[in-house]
Amino acid sequence: MVLNDPTTSSRPWWRDAVTYQVYVRSFADSNGDGVGDLQGITARLPYLQRLGVDALWITPFYPSPQHDHGYDVADYRDVDPRFGSLDDADRLVARAHELGLRVIVDLVPNHSSNEHEWFQAALAAGPGSPERARYLFRDGRGPDGSEPPNNWHSVFGGPAWTRVEDGQWYLHLFDSSQPDFDWRNPEVGDMFESVLRFWLDRGVDGFRIDVAHGLVKEESLRDQEIGADHMPGSGPAAPADPHAEHHHVHTAEGEHAQLLTAQSMVERRMRDEPMWDQPGVHEVYRRWRRVLEEYDGDKMLVAEAWTQTEESMARFVRPDEMHQAFNFSWLLAPWSAESFAEVIRSTIAAVEPVGASPTWVLSNHDVVRHVTRYGGGAQGLARARAATLTMLALPGSAYIYQGEELGLEEVDVPPESRQDPAWLRTGEVGRDGCRVPLPWGGTEPPFGFSLCQGQPWLPQPLEWAAVTAQVQAQDPDSTLDFYRRALAARRALVPHEGEHAGEIDLLPDAGEHVLAFRRDHLTVLLNCGDTPVPLPDGEIVIASGPVKGELPPDTAVWLEL
Ligand code: NOJ
């Protein structure tokens, strides 16, 4: 039961797909060690099929010391024993395909783990060796080389350089356990081509490319200019990536509002970023595209690229590069009809000229869950459902993050349980709050996530007894039921052959606080204001909350007029 059966449609499956992000540690634990694993995912695939998604993206499950929970890869061609084996990976892919689900795996090419054999060899071989030339080792500044080679800061806080015993320094844009590769060295490109082929040969359908905007740095590795115009008040330690902006966004509502503003995007646009989004990075993706095209079955690449503008995002999806890029502008937009409309307009304007289709995402494992970003509680949930329903009507594809279908909020993880390297490096709250293992059923932790005695790797709140998948599956008003209905309704919106991203009309006259657009026979309204607005006559296909005669605040509706 494959959505876009290649025998009946020439439209590649990923163009309109809804992809469910599985954070492997926290999805389902089959062996009772308190950490999720591949067999756990396989066992839950029928849940994803029933939910109505088209694909799943699985975060890194390769051998790794887990300093950044798998985004520190020690071996790109194997499975960490915590998560299973290569056979488990093969069985997962085969079972997913039987159920009509595509599988996207996560590729981490910007950096490896410091436990990768190449980095260990680089340490052993010493300055000037070919082994060191696979990473970015440099001598330090100052008379005795005791100062870092430049002023860059790690996204996770602190300097982006660590000194090794012989006095040289290596660059790590993330944790010190994540040394950056030197992508100007052809050996690195050759290695990653073989890694792509390794997983393509095992049948995966695509790759999510981690830090896709970071692989190539400005060759000089010059200082980042930090002028008065750049991020006022944040000084030289200004984070160079919006992940970091979210580190201190937690439960205080005011803080979210303040940080997730258009202003913070504008400030970022003004920053000098010699470490991000350099032109040379695109050569890498052209090569990868050619590799994917040797395989049948519409294999795809999706970029995680925190670019400064939608236009620079669109450069990653030119016809000979990646197929998709996450559109983080949608996730960063504050709760306002005008901001949402502007993101839709500018996204489509950016991707259309390159012939790409847009993507939409509201939550992932790096940001505060959208229920909480929108204020939490009943209002946060109403807004989250409304934003999701709006997203699912937009042309292109959508990404949803595990647990959002249960309406989960960010968890206030106690400091002693936090594990995010950003927390460990800076003391800022970090990303653990959106990574708490899922509540599947039952009345107490681990809520069916695991057979473990006691707590899973991050503790679950006791209140989750009321929001387990099991409880929600019985309740027609639940968020889970709403997601199932919304995804089913979306399937009926099958785009025609040849429909392109621009085939949506924003309706400017719907009211100051109402986002409205038409797509084919469907009219979509989202009320971001605080008073109800009249509903045009028409048949309600689906609404994100109760609707009678008028469209209440914080609610979205799909109408057939
Ligand atoms: C982006 C990933 O989504 C994040 O979780 C990770 O910490 C960084 N890249 C570094 O790999």
pLDDT, tens digit, for every residue of 401-416?
999 999 999 999 999 9
**Cα 5 to the center of its chain, rounded Å:** 26
Checking if the pLDDT of 241 tops 70, the result is: no
State mean pLDDT over 232-252: 33
pLDDT value of position 492: 85
pLDDT value of position 494: 65
pLDDT single digits (tens) 102-138 = 999 999 999 999 999 999 999 999 999 999 999 999 9
Domains in the chain and their CATH numbers?
13-114+185-488 (3.20.20.80), 500-560 (2.60.40.1180)
pLDDT single digits (tens) 20-62 = 999 999 999 999 999 999 999 999 999 999 999 999 999 999 9
Beta bridge partner(s), residue 180: 111
Q: Which of 105, 174, 364 to mutate to test the pocket of ligand 1 (most atoms within 8 A of CB)?
A: 174
Better pLDDT: 503 or 58: 58
User: What are the residues whose beta carbons fall under 8 Å from the beta carbon of 9, sequence distance 6 or more?
Assistant: 497
Q: Is 366 in the pocket of ligand 1 (CB under 6 A)?
A: yes
Q: How far apart are CA 433 and CA 459, in angstroms?
A: 10
Confidence of residue 501 (pLDDT cuts 50, 70, 90): low
Confidence of residue 540 (pLDDT cuts 50, 70, 90): very high
Checking if the pLDDT of 140 tops 50, the result is: yes
pLDDT value of position 249: 32
Checking if the pLDDT of 4 tops 50, the result is: no
pLDDT single digits (tens) 207-217 = 999 999 999 99
Say whether 272 is catalytic.
no
Confidence of residue 493 (pLDDT cuts 50, 70, 90): confident
Better pLDDT: 226 or 473: 473
State mean pLDDT over 281-295: 98
524: CA distance to ligand 1 center in Å? 34
b/e code 87-125 from CB counts within 10 Å (16+ = b)? ebbeebbebbeeeebbbbbbbbbbbbbbbbebbeebbee
Q: Is 68 in the pocket of ligand 1 (CB under 6 A)?
A: yes
Residue 446, preceding peptide bond in cis (omega within 30° of 0)? yes
pLDDT value of position 44: 98
State mean pLDDT over 207-235: 79
Catalytic annotation, pick one of 37, 180, 210, 267: 210
Confidence of residue 451 (pLDDT cuts 50, 70, 90): confident
pLDDT value of position 2: 36
pLDDT value of position 200: 98
Say whether 294 is catalytic.
yes
Q: Is 326 in the pocket of ligand 1 (CB under 6 A)?
A: no
Give the position, in ligand 1's atom list, of the atom nearest the Cα of 111.
Answer: 11
b/e code 175-191 from CB counts within 10 Å (16+ = b)? bbbbbbbbbeeeebbeb
3-state secondary structure of 426: helix
Q: How far apart are CA 217 and CA 467, in angstroms?
A: 45
547: CA distance to ligand 1 center in Å? 39
pLDDT value of position 500: 66
| Structure-block tokens of residue 542 | 């689906």
Number of Cβ within 10 Å of residue 421's Cβ equals 23
pLDDT value of position 236: 28
State mean pLDDT over 425-436: 94
3-state secondary structure of 44: helix
State mean pLDDT over 494-504: 70
pLDDT single digits (tens) 302-345 = 999 999 888 999 999 999 999 999 999 999 999 999 999 999 99
Residue type, 472: Q
Q: Is 71 in the pocket of ligand 1 (CB under 6 A)?
A: yes
State mean pLDDT over 251-277: 57
Checking if the pLDDT of 240 tops 70, the result is: no
Q: Which of 58, 210, 304, 402 to mutate to test the pocket of ligand 1 (most atoms within 8 A of CB)?
A: 210
319: CA distance to ligand 1 center in Å? 26
State mean pLDDT over 68-76: 98
Confidence of residue 178 (pLDDT cuts 50, 70, 90): very high
State mean pLDDT over 472-482: 98
List the alpha helices (DSSP H) in 394-526: 421-426, 469-473, 479-491
pLDDT value of position 267: 59
Confidence of residue 266 (pLDDT cuts 50, 70, 90): low
Q: Is 175 in the pocket of ligand 1 (CB under 6 A)?
A: no
Percent of the chain topping pLDDT 90: 84
State mean pLDDT over 6-22: 84
State mean pLDDT over 64-86: 98
> Nearest to residue 505, comparing CAs of 493, 490, 520, 494?
520
Please provide the average confidence, as pLDDT, over all residues in the chain.
Answer: 91
